Amino acid sequence: MSMNTNQKRILIKLGGASLQDNSVLVKLANCLTQYRTLGYQVLLVHGGGPAINAELTRRNIKWDFVRGQRITTPEMMDVIEMVLSGSINPKIVKFLNARGLFSLGFSGVDGPTLICSQASPELGMVGLVEQVNSRWLEDLLSQASAPIPVISPLGTNVKGESFNVNADWAASRIASALKVDQMIFLTDQKGILDARKMPIKDISQLGLEQLVEDEVVTGGMYTKTLTILHALESGVQSVRVMSAQDCVDALYNDRIGTWCLNERTFQKIQQKVAKVENYAV
């Protein structure tokens, strides 16, 4: 017997920086348990930047970033695959399974889940996701005792070559393909910061575009903002950015983190807020 296809879906992207703190996995497990209890189908995409950096440093391999994405050589690709699929992914899966959260770990190469082309010659073996194998993911989620897919951000092309995929882009592409109701970015920051370095409570697509244009968001947050815009434009109803440390509290507190909303939803909320404020006056 398959699960109800009308179930709400949530995709959580766990940043690699957050994984440096072991307490984050405990909070993640509690958060996932709550979402499953509330009836959500849950998917998890993880990064691994700091762990990759550490292994590259250990091997005396230098690297650089362009617009928030790592320039990837074939030598680096071997290290990235080893760290993501050989170390981080199994660690998360073992941790979740030990706490009763049936989880299945794999990378975007498996299935294949993420079918890529080369993003640009400048970035080397960085993949641009051209297609998500949503049918395989749908089949996985439709099982009676569906596991939580735990996905590492690697992709492959038609020739079977592996690519390094930015984890934020992997999450956004999967969320869009599966039409999830909400995507959550668990990071090492309290949310998206404005020009004064203060967390933004909620923001529209136009607001996000302005942050990019004004160069308020830079580095990894620049890339993340672009992926959020893509998700909202592709039908994801809302995207939330927050500290991984706050993920459990955020289930019951809408004021935690930054809510990114499409224009229609954002305007509706602003109208409701205005009505409440006018009534209070």
Q: What is the pLDDT of residues 255-269, one digit of tens each?
A: 999 999 987 777 766
Task: Return the residue matching tokens 């179930």.
Answer: 7
For residue 1, is pLDDT > 50? no
d(CA 172, CA 157): 19
Strand-pair partners of 205: none
Render the burial of 248-280: b for 16+ CB within 10 Å, e for the rest.
Answer: bebeeeeebbbbbbbeebbeeeeeeeeeeeeee
Which spans in the chain are helix H? 22-37, 49-58, 74-83, 89-98, 134-141, 167-177, 205-213, 219-233, 263-280
The pLDDT value given to residue 274? 55
Percent of the chain clearing pLDDT 70 (strictly above): 92
Reported as a single tens digit per residue, the pLDDT across 153-197 is: 999 999 999 999 999 999 999 999 999 999 999 998 999 999 999
The answer to whether 60 and 29 have CB atoms below 8 angstroms apart is no
The pLDDT value given to residue 17? 82
The pLDDT value given to residue 281? 42
Reported as a single tens digit per residue, the pLDDT across 53-93 is: 999 999 999 999 887 789 999 999 999 999 999 999 999 99
pLDDT (mean) for 228-244: 94
Query: Cis omega (within 30 of 0) on the bond before 74?
Result: no
Percent of the chain clearing pLDDT 90 (strictly above): 79
Classify strands 127-132 and 114-118 as parallel, antiparallel or unpaired: antiparallel
Average pLDDT of the chain is 90
The answer to whether 248 and 34 have CB atoms below 8 angstroms apart is yes
Check: CATH 3.40.1160.10 for 9-280? yes
Structure tokens given for 200 = 């933004």
d(CA 245, CA 268): 30
pLDDT (mean) for 229-241: 94
Strand-pair partners of 66: 69
Q: Which helix (H) or strand (E) holds 44?
A: strand 41-46
Structure tokens given for 237 = 């109803």
Predicted confidence band at 132 (pLDDT cuts at 50, 70, 90)?
very high
d(CA 12, CA 99): 18
The pLDDT value given to residue 269? 66
For residue 7, is pLDDT > 90? no
d(CA 239, CA 176): 11
The pLDDT value given to residue 144? 78
Strand-pair partners of 163: 155
The number of angstroms, rounded, from the C-alpha of 60 to the middle of its chain's C-alpha atoms is: 29
The pLDDT value given to residue 279? 44
pLDDT (mean) for 210-237: 92
